[in-house]
Structure formats: C-alpha cells, structure tokens
C-alpha cells in the first residue's frame, strides 16, 4: 500500500519525461513490489480462511457483518490488483503507455480499496454500530440493520487515514534508508557507486514523502487518541496505565512498577515514573489539564495486558516524533545544499529504515491487544469466539507450524529483497524508454 | 438510522437469491479450479522437464496469471462467509488440518516460482523446482479431499472417496495444464506434452468413474441424486467433453481442446453442486435456505456481486488478451 503511490508517480514520470532515472526507479521498485505482493498473497490467503478455521463462533455470530466486507474486498480490490499486477510487472513491452499507466493506477487503487474493506471489518469490531443482537439456538447472532452506520462506523475514518499515511511513511523511510546507504558509500567513503543519481533521486523523493507524512501522522494520531478516549476508554486507560479514575492525570513518559514481580501485573499500582503533570488529561480532552480520565479499575472483569499496550504505544509515539525530526533534518540539509555531506544524517536514515514498519506493528498491537478482552467491543469476548470443536493441540500445532513457516518466509523475503537492493537498478544500457522503439524481443519461437 | 426500505424484508426483485448464491459459490470454485488448475497442471508437468529453457517456458506461461487466478479461492472463501456464514464457520473449522494443508501447499506453490527465478545456480533451482512441483501436486489433491468431505459430510480427515477425488482433481489439473501450455507454446514442447495430456485424460476418466462409484456405494443418501436426470445428464456431458478434448488434442485444435477442458471443469463442479443440493452442510443438516444469511446483507452482497462480477471478467479479459499468443521467456519487470 505504501509503495503504490510511488509506483504510480514513477510510471507517470517514466512515460512523460525523457529522464532515464524514472525508468530505473519504476523497474527497481516494481521488482520489490512484485516480491512483496507474492509474499502478501500467500500469507494473506491464510487470513481469509482463518476466521472459519479458528474463530468459528465469531464467524457464526458476526458473519452477517464481517463476511460482506471480506467478500467485497476480494471482488472489488484483490481482483483488480492481482490481474493488473500481471500487466504492470510483466507487460511493459506488450501494452501502450496509456494502458500501462492505467495498470499502475489499478494496482494502487486495488491495494487501497483492499485496506478500505479490511479496515471496515476491523473498525466495526472496535466501534460496532448498525446491528441488533439476537439469541438463536443459544448462540448470539449479530443482525445487520443499518449497513451505512455499520460500515462507516466511527472508527473507520481514523483507522484508514492513520494506516494509509503510516504505510506511505514507512515506505519513505525504507527508501530513504537504502538510498542513504549508497550515498554514504559514494560520497562519504568515496567508494564509487554505479547509478549514484538513481539513489540521490530516490532519497529526495523519499524525503519529500517523509516531510509530508510524518507531521500528518502525529497530528491525526493525537486526534485519533482523543477518539479512543470517547469510544474505548478501557483501551485508553491501558495505553496510559491509569488505574484509578482521576482528574489532572499526568502523562508518563516512562513508568515502571516498583517491584519486578509486578512488571506484567495490570493491577500494580506503585509506579515509578516520569510524567508531565496534567499531560494525559490535557491530551485526552484536547487542552484541559483538569479533565477526568476513567481508570482501569472502573471496568469489570479481565483487563488488557497493560504493560504491552503501554509500552507499544510509547515506543510508537516516540518513533513518530523521531521520524518528524529526521524528515526536517534531511530537508534542512537539502535546502542548505549539504544533503550528501552529513554522515550522521545518513547513518540515522539507515538505522531508521525498518523503524517505520516497527511503528506500524506496534500501533496494531495497541489496537488489538488494547481492546482485549473484547473481540467485538462490548459485544463478544475473545474467549467466546474460538471454534468450539478446535482442540488445544490442533491450535498449538498449527500456530507453531505457521510461526515457523512465516519466520521462514520472512527470512526468504528479506534475503530476496537484500539481493535486489544489492544488485541495484538496471543499468543505462538495459533501459528501453529513451525515445527509440524497444529492442526486438527474442521470442521463443517465431514459426507460428 | 438509514432507511433501508424493503431491502431488509424482500429479496431483490423476489429472486431466489439463496439458490443463486449456492450456484455462485460453486461457479467461483469452478473458476478457481479452471484457472489455477492450469497453473497446478503446469507445476506438475514441471517434474517431467529437465532442460532449463523448457522449465523457463513453463514458468513464463503462468507467471503473469497465477496471482489473479488464486484470487478466485479468496473470493470463494469470502462469498461463502458472506452468503452462508454458518457454513463457512462449520466447514472450515471441521476440516481444520485439511484447510491448513491446502493453505500450506498454496504458499509453497506461490513462493517457489518467485524464488526459483531469483538465482541462477543449480542447487537453488533444483530445490525450488521440487518445492514448486510438490506444492502444485498437493494443493489440488488436498482441495479434492476437501470437496469430497464437504459433499459426503465426512468428519474424518482422510477417507477413501476423498483420496480418489483428490487424485481425480490432480489429473484434471494436468489435463488443464496441457491444454493451456499448448496454447502458449510454439515449439517441440507443444508436441511433447500432448502425450502427457492423453495420459492425464485417461487417468481422469478412470478416476471420475471410480469417484462416482465410490460415492454411490458409500453414501446411500446420495444415490437418488446420482441417478437423477440432471446428474446423469451432466455426467454424460462430462464424458462427451473428454472425447472432444481427446479428438481436438489429436488434431492440434488448441482452442477447441482448451474450451472442452473448461467444460470438463465446470460440468464436474456442477455435478458436485447438484449432488449436494438442497443441502450445503450435511453434517449440521443445513439446507441452502436454512444457511443463507439474512435478507438485508444478502441483498447488499447481491448488488455488489452483480456490479463487480462483470468488472472482474473485464479485468481478466484485459489480462489474458495482453498476454495472448506465444510466451516470451525473457520478458519481466
């Protein structure tokens, strides 16, 4: 999703300008996109069936609301991206400029529509609307009564904006980090790199994307948190590790229980920490340091694992601010004409390349762990959602199996991506678009 | 509160939407078996080809397509979930390990060709080639077992009818793969695979007769459905199509063979659907009318499908026409 807007831009520039660097950009990043997409297809396929295999009770209860978005995602989004991906990746020589550009747009649109439907399904679990709950044969069944209220539930716009912006920001960080590595070697170590202009252009495009997305992420992230206060107060209390309902609540930058045994105990009250007085109240209410925040002790029953939510949230926010700093640092150097000379900047960019993805994962941990014990907020508990016939042994075996398989896939994926990056972009003499017609293709056989 | 009008009480235009969705689910399954079927078949044929340039042609024949083809399985899952949520939940949790076996095989099949092309050295290509073959064989095999278990309402993981059906589906994918490959190649490979096509066709014929026989013996509740005019008619059409495929392949009528092969897949899926109807989940005793989702989401999904399916056919039309004609091996990125 994050790479798609870049690919559309590269394709457009490749077609419209004579500058060969855009063909290099398009071809290089398309290779990475293709490998990522194939990995995403095979791993994502599991999810389409997992609701049935592992969460049959959930699927029975929520099928009316949950099945529709999943089916529509397949038909509206996945079909679009998967078919046009074939043309986008393999068909440059076979189609006109116009159809080729349209293919890039179709692939990008497909990935974003996919996010729309998946996030509709997920956000409905966070802020369920537009349904009635009935008991049928001893099983709670959710009935859809208002599709617009259900699909465009209050959480959906927040999630969509935050996730899509994060995807673009993460890709910008990866691009900048890889480009910084080559620029560092070329300009600072003076170890000449072929196609250095390619990496310089990559860095500049990534910095432009970063300087737009990084501040936006923080601004609507702040608004998003306020929306959580209103809709999922228990989650917000876990994010801030607030136990007792109180006003003038400090914002803890770091916080630890006083004894090591309490490290993971959600009820550990003795906190050693450093906080800004009134900070949490100020943030939660949008400007009032005296505002009251509901504490975890107000909520009956099990609590989310506070330590995980608290720390994931903090690290994610810290990373978000770091990315803003990084963006402005880079743009400042660029403006001063010193972009290729600051070795510290390039080291920072290299180290930050994977941190955008880390922040995305942490954000999802806050979202999904923070809503526990609910699978559908206020309607169904996670414990009640699993398949009734599923044995612990089966679930454990497949979980371990998939952990191993997915870890293997991640290793292979990283290996292949590193190889592509090390090989670098295609060289000038391999390029095709510079005016003249493409070189004749050697077909397998011409005798037909 | 949005006013949904009569959408919540009456099906669109009074159509029998439950039956239409039952048909649609099987149609989508058929599209998957037909389109990804030739990917599987070509993956299995990969085992019979040692030469590098031949193997590359096999891969090039399917690389632009397999991703789109596999989405039909995603849509099969999604459509079943949306239209028959209880069946989706029961069926996939009941055949838990089988589902994961299918998904594991599909991961191997999808990943292997990507990996194969990343490096040129022999051991790498040997092992990823093997992974590709194993994934391409086991995915349709397990899928066949799943279909048999679904039809017969079996609780067990692996049964005799399941294994026979699995092998039949594997044979059918090879028939499919040969038909597609002969459309896409122009050299000696095109002639070489003809014999493979005949062997697979004979195997398919034997296995389809065996499957129907075993179903007749082991599932008394399906006996009357098996002898109904519709099913008998479909079986006859299926057998006639194998004849047409054989004749078309002998006379090198590539398109005719490919169309006959598509007919084979869709008549086979129709036979399974007709045998199952009116039930959609025999273990739970759920009929199509009992398992169908409430009217409002059903109407919404029907509108969605009516608008989107023509678009999907358009996408596939564009994709297959862009890559029509013979393979160009060195084309990528």
The one-character DSSP state at B4 is -
Q: What is the CATH number of the domain that holds B239?
A: 1.20.1630
Instruction: Say yes or no: ipTM exceeds 0.85.
Output: yes
pLDDT digits (tens, 9 = 90+) for B20-37: 999 999 999 999 999 999
How far apart, in whole angstroms, are the C-alpha atoms of residue B326 and residue A448? 9
A140 touches B: beta carbon within 8 Å: no
Asked whether residue A439 carries a pLDDT value surpassing 50, the answer given is: no
Phi-psi region of A445 (alpha: psi -120 to 50; beta: other; left: phi over 0): beta
Among A209-218, A299-308, A436-445, the range with the most confident prediction by mean pLDDT is A209-218
Contact B81 A67 (CB under 8 A): yes
Residue B326 to residue A444, Cβ atoms within 8 A: yes
Is A335 within 8 Å of chain B by CB? no
Cross-strand partners of A276: A251
Nearest to B99 by CA among A50, A253, A290: A50
Q: Is B290 on the interface with A (CB under 8 A)?
A: no
Q: Report if residue B294 sits inside a domain.
A: yes
Confidence of residue A270 (pLDDT cuts 50, 70, 90): low
Task: Report yes or no: A93 and B115 within 8 Å, Cβ to Cβ.
Answer: no
Q: What is the pLDDT of residue B271?
A: 95
Residue in B with minimal Cα distance to A143: B294
- A387:B1 CB<8 A: no
What chain B residue is nearest to A387 in terms of C-alpha separation? B93
Name residue A292's beta-bridge partners: A247
DSSP per-residue letters across B146-194: HHHHHHHT--SS--HHHHHHHHHHHHHHHHHHHHHHHHH--SHHHHHHH
A66 neighbourhood in chain B, CB within 8 Å:
81, 85
**B contact test, residue of A70, A80, A86, A394 with most B CBs within 10 A:** A86
Contact A85, A30 (CB under 8 A): no
Helical spans, DSSP H, in A95-154: 97-126, 147-151
Chain A residues closer than 8 Å to B304 by CB: 68, 71-72, 75-76
Q: What is the tens place of the pLDDT at every residue in A42-96? A: 887 888 788 888 888 888 888 888 889 999 999 999 999 999 999 999 888 889 9
Q: What is the pLDDT of residue A441?
A: 44
Neighbours of B65 (CB within 10 A): 22
> What tokens does A77 get?
């989004």
Contact indicator for A96, A425 with CB cutoff of 8 Å:
no
The pLDDT value recorded for residue A401 is 83
Task: Confirm or reject contact between B75 and chain A (CB < 8 A).
Answer: yes
Q: Is the pLDDT of residue B256 over 80?
A: yes
Return d(Cα A57, Cα B65) in angstroms, integer.
36
| pLDDT range class, residue A262, cuts 50, 70, 90 | low
Calpha distance A7→A415 (Å, rounded) = 22
* Tokens 């004894």 found at: A259
H or E element at residue B25? helix B17-45
Q: Which residue, among B326, B319, B40, has the nearest Cα to A89 in the 3D structure?
A: B319
Residue A184 has pLDDT above 90, yes or no: no
B17 to A60, A67, B288: CA distances (angstroms): 20, 16, 10
Is there a contact between B1 and A51 if contact means CB atoms under 8 Å apart? no
Residue A125's nearest CA partner among A298, A370, A316 is A370
Tell me the average pLDDT across A336-365: 91
Question: Which of the residue ranges A370-379, A408-417, B165-174 would you say has the lowest mean pLDDT?
Answer: A370-379
Contact of A138 with chain B, judged by CB distance below 8 Å, is answered with: no
- Is residue B6 a part of any domain in this protein? no
Chain segment B152-163, per-residue pLDDT in tens:
988 888 889 999
CB-based contact (8 Å) between B86 and chain A? yes
DSSP state of A186: I
Predicted pLDDT at A302: 84
Q: What is the mean pLDDT of residues B91-113?
A: 89
The Cα-based distances of A81 to A59, A72, A121 in angstroms read: 26, 14, 20
Give the CA-trace dihedral at B320, B106, A7, B64, to 10 degrees: -20
Mark yes or no for CB contact A79/B68 under 8 Å: yes
Query: If DSSP codes are grouped into helix, strand and coil, which group holds residue B281?
Result: strand
Residues 6+ apart with CB under 8 A from B208: B168, B238, B268
State both tokens at B119. 């490096």
Are A82 and B68 inside 8 Å of each other by CB? yes
If you count DSSP H runs as helices and E runs as strands, how many of each does chain B have, helices first?
13, 2
Average pLDDT over residues B175-204: 91
Overall size of chain A counted in residues: 448
Name residue, tokens 């399954």.
Answer: B29
Instruction: Name the residue among B64, B187, B316 with its Cβ closest to that of A445.
Output: B187
pLDDT for the residue numbered A355: 95
Q: Does B171 touch chain A (CB under 8 A)?
A: no
The per-residue pLDDT for range B260-291, each reduced to its tens digit, is 999 999 999 999 999 998 999 988 889 998 88
Q: Which helix (H) or strand (E) holds B204?
A: helix B188-218
Looking at residue A430, its pLDDT comes to 67
Which residues make Cβ contacts (< 8 Å) with residue A332, sequence separation at least 6?
A: none
- State the angle between helix axes of B229-250 and B254-276 in degrees (0 to 180), rounded to the nearest 10: 160
The DSSP annotation for B42-71 comes to HHHHGGG--SHHHHHHHHHHHTTTHHHHHH
With bands split at pLDDT 50, 70 and 90, how would you rate the model's confidence at A264? low
DSSP letter for B220, please.
G
With CB atoms and an 8 Å threshold, state whether B326 touches A448.
yes
Q: Could you list the residue range(s) of the whole structural domain that residue B135 is in?
A: 14-316
Q: Say if residues B2 and A148 touch (Cβ distance below 8 Å).
A: yes
- Averaged pLDDT score across all residues of chain A: 85
d(CA B287, CA B279): 4
Instruction: Please tell me the predicted confidence (pLDDT) of residue A139.
Output: 83
Kindly state the percentage of chain A with pLDDT values over 90.
41
B183 Cβ under 8 Å from any chain A Cβ: no
Write the residue in B92, B119, B304 that is nearest to A52 by C-beta. Answer: B92
Contact A442 B330 (CB under 8 A): yes
* CB-CB contact of A172 with A147 (8 Å): no
- Interatomic CA distance for residues A173 and A355, integer angstroms: 8
- Shortest CB distance from B81 goes to which of A63, A387, A446? A63
- CA A42/CA B108 separation, integer angstroms: 8
What does the pLDDT look like over A313-324, one tens digit per residue? 989 999 999 999
Spatial separation of the C-alpha atoms in residues A16 and A236, rounded to whole Å = 49
- Nearest Cβ partner for B81 among A70, A95, A419: A70
Q: Is residue B81 within 8 angstroms of chain A, CB to CB?
A: yes
Calculate how close chain B gets to A34, using CA atoms only, in Å: 9
If you count DSSP H runs as helices and E runs as strands, how many of each does chain A have, helices first? 14, 8
Q: Give pLDDT, residue A448.
A: 36
Residue A208 CA: distances (Å) to CA of A109, A212, A327? 22, 6, 8
What is the average per-residue pLDDT within A323-340? Answer: 92
Span A146-163, mean pLDDT? 92
| The total number of structural domains that make up chain B | 1
Residue A444 predicted with pLDDT over 70? no
CA-to-CA separations, B143 to B137, B147, B172, in angstroms, rounded: 10, 6, 12
CA B41 to CA B15: how far, in whole Å? 38
Which stretch of A156-160, A169-173, B147-151, B327-331 has the lowest confidence by average pLDDT? Answer: B327-331
The pLDDT value recorded for residue A173 is: 96
CB contact B4 to A (< 8 Å): yes
Range with the lowest mean pLDDT among A234-238, B135-139, B142-146, B268-272?
A: A234-238
Give percent of chain B with pLDDT exceeding 70.
98
CB B300 to CB A147 under 8 A? yes
Task: Decide which of A284 and B304 is more confident.
Answer: B304
β-strand pairing of B279-281 with A380-381: unpaired
Q: Is position B322 within any domain?
A: no
Per-domain residue ranges of chain A:
1-150, 236-298
> Does residue B332 sit within a domain?
no
Write down the pLDDT at residue A151: 92
> B178 vs B332, which has greater pLDDT?
B178
Q: What is the pLDDT of residue A265?
A: 59
Q: Which of B98, B196, B109, B224 is nearest to A41 (CA)?
A: B109
For residue B1, the model assigns a pLDDT of 67
DSSP summary character for residue A430: G
pLDDT digits (tens, 9 = 90+) for B45-78: 999 988 888 888 899 899 889 889 999 999 999 9
pLDDT value, residue A447 = 38
Whether the CB of A273 is below 8 Å from some CB of chain B: the reply is: no
Q: Does A132 touch chain B (CB under 8 A)?
A: no
Residues of A in contact with B119 (CB under 8 A): 419
User: What is the C-alpha to C-alpha distance for residues A361 and A353, in angstroms, rounded to an integer?
Assistant: 14
Q: What share of chain B is helix, strand, coil (3-state, %, to 5)?
A: 80, 0, 15
CA dist B184 and B192 (Å) reads 13
Collapsed DSSP state (helix, strand, coil) of residue A248? coil
* Chain A to chain B Cβ contacts (< 8 Å): 266
Instruction: Dump pLDDT digits (tens) for A222-259.
Output: 889 888 888 888 888 888 888 788 888 888 777 766 66
């Amino acid at each position: 999703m994050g790479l798609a807007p870049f690919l559309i831009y590269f394709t457009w520039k490749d077609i419209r300008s004579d500058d060969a660097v855009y063909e290099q950009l398009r071809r290089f990043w398309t290779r990475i996109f293709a490998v990522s997409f194939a990995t995403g297809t095979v791993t994502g396929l599991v999810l389409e069936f997992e609701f049935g295999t592992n969460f049959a009770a959930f699927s029975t209860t929520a099928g009316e609301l949950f099945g529709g978005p999943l089916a529509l995602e397949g038909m509206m989004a996945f079909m679009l991206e998967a078919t046009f991906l074939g043309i986008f990746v393999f068909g440059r020589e076979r189609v006109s400029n116009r159809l080729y550009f349209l293919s890039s747009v179709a692939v990008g649109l497909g990935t974003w529509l996919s996010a729309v439907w998946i996030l509709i399904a997920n956000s409905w679990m966070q802020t369920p609307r537009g349904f009635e709950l009935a008991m049928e044969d001893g099983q709670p069944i959710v009935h859809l009564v208002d599709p617009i209220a259900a699909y465009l539930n209050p959480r959906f716009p927040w999630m969509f904006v935050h996730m899509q912006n994060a995807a673009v920001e993460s890709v910008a960080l990866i691009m900048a980090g890889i480009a910084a590595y080559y620029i560092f070697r070329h300009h600072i170590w003076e170890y000449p790199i072929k196609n250095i202009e390619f990496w310089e252009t990559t860095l500049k495009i990534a910095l432009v994307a970063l300087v737009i997305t990084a501040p936006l992420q923080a601004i609507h992230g702040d608004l998003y948190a306020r929306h959580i206060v209103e809709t999922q107060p228990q989650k917000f209390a876990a994010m801030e590790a607030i136990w007792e309902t109180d006003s003038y609540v400090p914002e803890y930058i770091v916080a630890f229980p006083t004894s090591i045994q309490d490290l993971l105990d959600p009820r550990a009250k003795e906190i050693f920490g450093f906080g800004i007085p009134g900070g949490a109240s100020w943030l939660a209410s949008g400007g009032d340091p005296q505002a009251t925040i509901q504490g975890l002790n107000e909520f009956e029953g099990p609590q989310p694992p506070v330590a995980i939510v608290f720390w994931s949230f903090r690290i994610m926010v810290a990373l978000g601010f770091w990315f803003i700093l990084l963006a402005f640092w880079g743009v400042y150097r660029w403006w001063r004409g010193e972009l290729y000379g600051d070795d510290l900047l390039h080291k920072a960019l290299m180290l930050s390349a994977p941190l955008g993805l880390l922040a995305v994962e942490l954000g999802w941990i806050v979202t999904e762990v923070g809503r526990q014990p609910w699978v559908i907020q206020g309607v169904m508990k996670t414990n009640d959602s699993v398949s009734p016939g599923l044995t612990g042994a089966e679930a454990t075996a497949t979980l371990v199996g998939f952990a191993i398989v997915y870890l293997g896939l991640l290793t292979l994926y990283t290996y292949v991506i590193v190889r592509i990056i090390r090989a670098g972009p295609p060289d000038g003499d391999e390029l095709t678009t510079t005016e003249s017609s493409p070189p004749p293709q050697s077909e397998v056989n011409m005798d037909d | 509160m949005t006013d949904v009008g009569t959408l919540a009480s009456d099906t669109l235009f009074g159509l029998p939407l439950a039956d239409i969705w039952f048909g649609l689910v099987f149609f989508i399954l058929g599209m998957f078996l037909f389109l990804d079927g030739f990917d599987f078949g070509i993956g299995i044929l990969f085992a019979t080809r040692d030469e590098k340039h031949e193997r590359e042609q096999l891969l090039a024949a399917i690389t632009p397509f397999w991703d789109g083809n596999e989405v039909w399985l995603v849509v099969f899952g999604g459509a079943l979930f949306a239209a028959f949520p209880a069946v989706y939940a029961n069926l996939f949790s009941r055949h838990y390990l089988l589902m994961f076996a299918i998904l594991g095989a599909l991961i191997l099949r999808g990943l292997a060709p990507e990996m194969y092309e990343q490096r040129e050295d022999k051991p790498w290509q040997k092992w990823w080639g093997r992974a590709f073959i194993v994934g391409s064989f086991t995915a349709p095999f397990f899928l066949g077992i799943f279909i048999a278990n679904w039809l017969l309402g079996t609780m067990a993981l692996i049964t005799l009818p399941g294994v026979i059906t699995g092998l039949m589906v594997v044979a059918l994918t090879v028939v499919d793969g040969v038909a597609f490959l002969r459309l896409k190649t122009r050299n000696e490979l095109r002639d070489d695979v003809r014999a493979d096509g005949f062997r697979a066709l004979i195997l398919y014929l034997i296995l389809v007769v065996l499957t129907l026989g075993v179903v007749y013996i082991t599932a008394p509740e399906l006996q009357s459905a098996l002898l109904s005019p519709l099913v008998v008619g479909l079986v006859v059409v299926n057998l006639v199509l194998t004849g047409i495929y054989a004749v078309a392949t002998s006379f090198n009528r590539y398109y005719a063979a490919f169309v006959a092969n598509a007919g084979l897949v869709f008549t086979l899926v129709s036979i399974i659907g007709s045998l199952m109807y009116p039930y959609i989940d025999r273990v739970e005793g759920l009929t199509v009318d009992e398992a169908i989702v409430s009217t409002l989401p059903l109407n919404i999904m029907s509108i969605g499908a009516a608008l989107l399916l023509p678009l999907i056919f358009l996408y596939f039309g564009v994709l297959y026409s862009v890559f029509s004609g013979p393979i160009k091996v060195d084309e990528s990125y």
